[in-house]
A and B are shown apart, each in its own frame.
Chain A
Amino acid sequence: MSAYEYDAVVIGGGVSGIMASLTLASEGFKTALVSRGDPVCCLSTGCIDVFSHSDKPLGGIRALLPDHPYSLVGEKGIVDALCFFLEIMNEAGLPYEGDPGRNRKILTPIGSVKNTCLVPQSMAHADMPPGEYFHVISFQGIKDFFPSYLTSRHRNSTYSVYDAGVPTTLGIAARFDDATFLDAFITWLRGLEIPHDRVALPAVLGTIDPASAMEKISRAVGRKVFEIPTLPPSVPGLRLFRALKRVMQNRGIHLYWGKEVTSVERQGHTIEAVTLATTGRAKRVQGRAFVLATGSFVSGGLFAGRDSVRETVFDLPVAVPGERKDWFNTDFFSAGHSIERAGVRVDRSFRPAGAKIDNLFACGSILAECEIMSFQCGHGLAVATGVAAAKSCAQGLS
């Protein structure tokens, strides 16, 4: 077994784990990040929902119960973390915009309108004044995008269909990475009569840098252009993840990608090392501190048995709301299933409560009481608690 040594080892490669590792690295700590694979943020809209349940994210957060993880971060902490995120995304070449004080609107593929806080620039123009309409561009045979859903809800809107030669969003996005394809698309678009000031497309404007493609199209046709995030696998989620990963690499964070923690070494109140299964020799990764950011059920940080819930890396105590029969409401559309509250409880320093471990910190959707689906606060919570847990960890290290 080969051994490696770090100040901090972050487990989990989603938004919270990445933000935690970037925070630690920016404070000068030698940091490693272990991830089982690409995170579920690749399946998301790519937007940072801070608290989409109400129009004012910070106002909504103020009304939360004190045991919600946001209360551990505090308002200033949340705003600072979001600003840090905006900086990072600028550095990554995928600039985001937005204001923690007020939510903005994006469109969904069925034409409903959704609140979110920070958006990639390619979605900025989706926030329209009432009464304004748009022209939708769809693609031949595209699987999860039906323009008539948009035009039926936005009555004066119109649509046209372009044949990109592939039916999947990822496939079309890959074509948009190619300048000749983009030029041909623009030529076609210029030939259309576009009756509105805005042009909407499913989010397929390239796999890396949608803002440049958007600018180019916008200049060519003299219209504001925006993207609509589609169903998984979705391009904006993938772009977000890849951009964050690039910054981690630039900042010298050591990545153990596609590696799973198979065992944990604990000495008294301290975690000393974790062992990773690899295709070759098992790796022993030592750290002075550890950050747990493995997410909730979908990501695999929590696993529900028939009657209990387990934390999958350190076997930490998990708060479980009631019996299985009560985990889910009977109505699919009533968010607030009690299972959403399951997770790891932490103290004010983000150390897991009741675990008696001094050098372990937890962040992201693995935290108890976060109710991400009810409040629509997934990535915002990940950013805020990722940064906050890392700061607490940094304090412990120095």
Chain B
Amino acid sequence: MIKTDVVIIGGGATGCGIARDLALRGVHHYLVEKGDFANGATGACHGLLHSGARYAVTDPEAARECIGENAILRRIARKCVETTGGLFVRLPGDSKRYRDTFLTNCEDAGISTEVLSASRALDLVPELNPSIEEAVVVPDCSIDPFRLCMLNAFTSRHKGCGILTHHKVIDIVRERGRCTGVKVLDRFTSQIKEIRAKIIINATGAWGDTLARMGGSDAPMTLSKGSLIISNHRLTNMVINRLRPPSDGDIIVPNEAVCLAGTTSIPVDDPDAIEVDSREVDLVATQAEQMLPRFGTTRLIRAYTGVRPLLKAEASDSRSISRGFRIIDHNNGMFSILGGKLSTYRLMAEKTVDAVIKELGIKARCKTADIPLDGQDELSGYPLSKRLKGIDNIVCECELVDRAQVENAINSLGIQYIGDIQHRTRLGMGPCQGGFCTYRALGIMQETGRLTPEESIEILKEFLQRRFRGIRPALWGDQLREEQLVESIYLGILNMGQQA
């Protein structure tokens, strides 16, 4: 049995942010996560660090929080944030009155704006629809959610706290009505571990109600599915928003070599049973195309979807529900943090930890806004020169990941899961979406003895199914060609369809 002060459930941005906050205030803790970091909504969002402008008209409170956190994260998380800047573009037919309110509200919230003529906007982003009326510059940024989680968790590891990914909570231990620990299943060894703690923090996003119920309480939420698509090219160097009341498919965010466009907003019941619908893909692609016409002809490499955990409200339209957050003290040793968004994860963590340490009777000031994230110096980033060194032994041709990087991930990071290798090396993130390199990476994994040959083939099958689910709704054009080629490899050359 493991003993600690606080157990955090959930390895998304909020959970990892809480871990770092606790670490900096000297509170011992364990974080448990059923998958890898950023497994839920954190990893399935735009990767947009909001300036707050998107909420300026509909939710001024959220707008103010966003611009505050935006400034902090640019400072403390340099290796996760790309200061792209953002544009709100007004297309013919979009209300001019909305634009005026937008500018006034941005000013009230403290969000800097600059109005550009269409031609100046086109100078900045040449792929913009040339018929735009005008554009407004705001300080939106692109942010890497996975890296953000990893670096937040780094501080905890560094200070001797436990970060257990691939550990699923199967039960919450209760004594006399009070939550005193969790039982987790180590998904790799199938071993069950018990962790005892004074406080349990439920930071599981869309799964919040399920966990709260395990603890004997509840955490009512509205769940809303948001689907996004990824283009094969980086069509813009700035975040592009539509200057109109928030709606479907009106944000495009550049990220590394690709662009993400979304989202939709559809109420759902079960966060584990969601899939992208091909109509959602069409909707988002059509909307994105209006801002960046090339979105209509560029190859889409994948569609994905995540579930927003929104605060329960009467309104039935999930877009009008507040993106604000709430901390619930269940008065049984468990706290739940609900709602919120990636951009304000640090603030959410701060407020949660404030409440928790009060309960623990500790006095310590939050330092997360002042100290840059640990571990950033060690991050090499993505220099091409480094990636070309191993050119003779490239495993992933799309992202130039060589055999040494894969072996390093397996041996020194002790990685057991193919998905973890992909997250940490970018293997399989390019146009073929792992169609060629996953087979190789798994082959290397079984050569190192991490997996048996049989296990690695099973994992390959699971991977191909999962990959196909992500690609299927966006299959046309060149991506369809690539998909048929991948099919011919696995079902044809390797004959995996017939083989049990």
Which segment, of B33-41, B98-106, B473-481, faces chain A? B473-481
B446 contact set on A, CB distance < 8 A = 146, 148-149
Q: Which of B393, B468, B480 contacts A297 (CB 8 A)?
A: B480
Q: Which of A153, A167, A296, A334 contacts B484 (CB 8 A)?
A: A296
User: Which residues, 445 to 500 on B, are CB-close (under 8 Å) to A?
Assistant: 446-447, 452-454, 457, 461, 464-465, 467-469, 472-473, 475-477, 480-481, 484-485, 487-499
Identify the interface centre among B436, B439, B473, B492: most chain A CB within 10 Å of its CB: B492
Q: Are B491 and A110 in contact (CB under 8 A)?
A: no
Give the distance in Å from the alpha carbon of A331 to the alpha carbon of B490 in the complex: 13
Given contacts A144-B439, A325-B278, contact A112 B495 (CB under 8 A): yes
Q: Which of A113, A305, A335 contacts B476 (CB 8 A)?
A: A305
Q: Which of B277, B453, B454, B487 contacts A146 (CB 8 A)?
A: B453
A206 interface residue (CB < 8 Å to B): no
Q: Which of A148, A229, A333 contacts B447 (CB 8 A)?
A: A148
A281 interface residue (CB < 8 Å to B): no
B114 contact set on A, CB distance < 8 A = none
Give the distance in Å from the alpha carbon of A50 to the alpha carbon of B293 in the complex: 44
User: Which residues, 125 to 158 on A, are CB-close (under 8 Å) to B?
Assistant: 141, 143-144, 146, 148-149, 151-153
**Nearest CB on B from A48, distance (A):** 13
B282 interface residue (CB < 8 Å to A): yes
Q: Are B457 and A110 in contact (CB under 8 A)?
A: yes
B162 contact set on A, CB distance < 8 A = none
A257 interface residue (CB < 8 Å to B): no
Given contacts A110-B496, A331-B465, contact A304 B454 (CB under 8 A): no
- 10 closest A-B pairs by beta carbon, nearest first, are A152-B453, A332-B468, A146-B443, A114-B495, A325-B278, A112-B499, A304-B476, A112-B495, A148-B453, A304-B480
| Contact surface of A with B, Cβ cutoff 8 Å | 40, 43-45, 108-110, 112-114, 141, 143-144, 146, 148-149, 151-153, 167, 229-232, 234, 296-298, 300, 303-306, 324-325, 327-328, 330-335, 339, 373, 376, 378
Residue of A nearest to B397 (CB): A143
Q: Are B493 and A231 in contact (CB under 8 A)?
A: yes
B123 interface residue (CB < 8 Å to A): no
A324 contact set on B, CB distance < 8 A = 278, 475-476
Residue of A nearest to B453 (CB): A152
Q: A-side binding surface: helix, strand, loop or mixed?
A: loop
Give the distance in Å from the alpha carbon of A214 to the alpha carbon of B403 in the complex: 31
Give the distance in Å from the alpha carbon of A324 to the alpha carbon of B19 in the complex: 45
Identify the interface centre among A40, A298, A327, A331: most chain B CB within 10 Å of its CB: A298
Q: Are A45 and B493 in contact (CB under 8 A)?
A: yes
Identify the interface centre among A112, A230, A334, A335: most chain B CB within 10 Å of its CB: A112
Give the distance in Å from the alpha carbon of A331 to the alpha carbon of B467 in the complex: 11
Given contacts A306-B282, A331-B465, contact A144 B440 (CB under 8 A): yes
Q: Are A108 and B476 in contact (CB under 8 A)?
A: no
Q: Are B488 and A373 in contact (CB under 8 A)?
A: yes
B392 interface residue (CB < 8 Å to A): yes
Q: Are A298 and B485 in contact (CB under 8 A)?
A: yes
A149 contact set on B, CB distance < 8 A = 443, 446, 453, 457
Given contacts A297-B481, A298-B484, contact A231 B489 (CB under 8 A): yes
A167 contact set on B, CB distance < 8 A = 392-393
B395 interface residue (CB < 8 Å to A): yes
Given A143-B440, A327-B475, 20 further pairs, Cβ under 8 A: A40-B485, A110-B496, A112-B495, A112-B499, A113-B495, A230-B493, A231-B439, A231-B493, A234-B493, A296-B484, A297-B480, A297-B484, A298-B481, A305-B477, A324-B476, A325-B279, A332-B468, A333-B491, A339-B480, A373-B492
Give the distance in Å from the alpha carbon of A109 to the alpha carbon of B495 in the complex: 10
Given contacts A146-B446, A296-B484, A376-B492, contact A333 B497 (CB under 8 A): yes
Residue of A nearest to B300 (CB): A306
Give the distance in Å from the alpha carbon of A282 to the alpha carbon of B312 in the complex: 66
What are 19 inter-chain pairs, A to B, with CB distance below 8 A? Answer: A40-B485, A44-B493, A108-B493, A112-B499, A144-B439, A146-B447, A146-B453, A148-B447, A149-B457, A306-B476, A324-B278, A325-B278, A325-B279, A331-B468, A332-B464, A332-B465, A332-B468, A373-B491, A376-B492
B489 contact set on A, CB distance < 8 A = 231-232
Give the distance in Å from the alpha carbon of A151 to the alpha carbon of B476 in the complex: 39
Give the distance in Å from the alpha carbon of A334 to the alpha carbon of B497 in the complex: 7
Q: Are A328 and B447 in contact (CB under 8 A)?
A: no
Encoded as 1 (CB less than 8 Å from any A CB) or 0, chain B from 422 to 457 comes to 000000000000001001100100110000111001
Residue of A nearest to B493 (CB): A45
B452 contact set on A, CB distance < 8 A = 152
A334 contact set on B, CB distance < 8 A = 497
**Nearest CB on A from B365, distance (A):** 52
Given contacts A146-B447, A328-B475, contact A333 B282 (CB under 8 A): no
